[in-house]
Amino acid sequence: MPPHTDISAVLFRFPDEDPCCRDVAVLVTLGEGAAVLTERFADYAQFLPATNWMKMLGTLTAIPQTTEQLLHQASLVPCIIAISGALTDEDTLLAARLVQRGEHCTVVIDATTQIRPEWKSVIRLPPHHSRDAQWAWAMRVYLDAMLNRGLICLDSTNMLACTENRLSQFTVVHTKDKSRAMAGVEQAMQSLATRCDLGACNTFLLLFHSGPDIRLKEIHWGIQALKIAIKPLRGDDYLLMVGHLPDKDVDFAVSLMAGMPQH
């Protein structure tokens, strides 16, 4: 994407795929610095390798969208609305139209943005990072999961199952010791417990970010740590989705999202 392009919406597309599965998701950013955030999201996605570790996927492009194109695409593919800061009346109306039109429309907001009642599926970013850090991790975690970058793959249907009609809280934890997966999950649960009632949450999205040194049994240990922590709160009455997002240049981290139904 050319630098300093004044846009706020893009369509993520794999141009070499069959037409029926070419378009992946549409993204619009609203609020403070909307065009800059969109550019960062688009740049991140387009700098991903053309193949993941499974030798799959392909070149990804980010195509700027007009309002009319955005509204059309929102009825066809998953729609991500990233909101940071105060909205204008025009922004508020556009977000409402997208939520009404899209079957899979998720609003991702920073730690301080007020949630509006018409937003059905909301992900709130962690409050303890800077604004740039919040959105940097949102770019990595959410787009990687939506674009099937992992060895243990998620897709948009899995993401929808975790976020649909829910207020989801999100956190990221970095750990380095020998029990890093278990420690990361435990710390992530502790972090989320300060922000929401985990007993009221019935969906959990657990993602492991690592270099090539990860062992599958570490992921297993992390999953077991989460199940043990949830057991006293929910028993077995919850949905758990797990993903592994590898990157040769990333330090080990655990990200966890917990979803509470919105009535």
CB-based contact 29:40 (threshold 8 Å) = no
Examine the pLDDT at 251 and tell me if it is beyond 80.
yes
pLDDT at res. 1? 41
pLDDT at res. 3? 39
pLDDT at res. 6? 42
Mean pLDDT to the nearest integer, 230-249: 89
pLDDT at res. 148? 63
Examine the pLDDT at 47 and tell me if it is beyond 80.
no
CB-based contact 258:203 (threshold 8 Å) = yes
Q: What's the CA gap between 208 and 200, in Å, rounded?
A: 24
Q: What's the CA gap between 221 and 248, in Å, rounded?
A: 22
pLDDT at res. 4? 35
pLDDT at res. 35? 84
- Mean pLDDT (the chain, rounded): 86
Cα–Cα distances (Å) from 70 to 44, 66, 91, 119, 193, in that order, read 20, 6, 13, 17, 36
Q: Where in the chain is the domain with CATH 3.30.1330.20?
A: 171-261
pTM across the whole model: 0.88
Lowest average pLDDT, out of 1-5, 71-75, 77-81, 209-213, goes to: 1-5
Name the residue among 208, 149, 197 with its Cα closest to residue 173: 208
Count the residues in the chain. Answer: 263
End-to-end CA distance of the chain: 40
Lowest average pLDDT, out of 18-22, 164-168, 234-238, goes to: 18-22
pLDDT at res. 50? 56
Q: Where in the chain is the domain with CATH 3.40.50?
A: 9-149
pLDDT tens digit string along 97-110?
999 987 789 999 98
Mean pLDDT to the nearest integer, 192-209: 95
pLDDT tens digit string along 156-179?
788 889 999 999 999 999 998 889
pLDDT at res. 152? 61
- Count CA atoms closer than 13 A to 235's CA, side-chain side: 1
CB atoms within 10 A of CB 75: 14
Q: What angle do CA 124, 222, 238 make, to 5 degrees?
A: 55
Query: How would residue 231 be classed by pLDDT, with cut points 50, 70 and 90?
Result: very high
Q: What's the CA gap between 246 and 150, in Å, rounded?
A: 6
Examine the pLDDT at 124 and tell me if it is beyond 70.
yes
* CATH number of the domain located at residue range(s) 9-149 in this protein: 3.40.50
Q: Which span out of 29-33, 136-140, 153-157, 168-172 was modeled with the highest average pLDDT?
A: 168-172
The yes or no reply on domain 171-261 and CATH 3.30.1330.20 is: yes
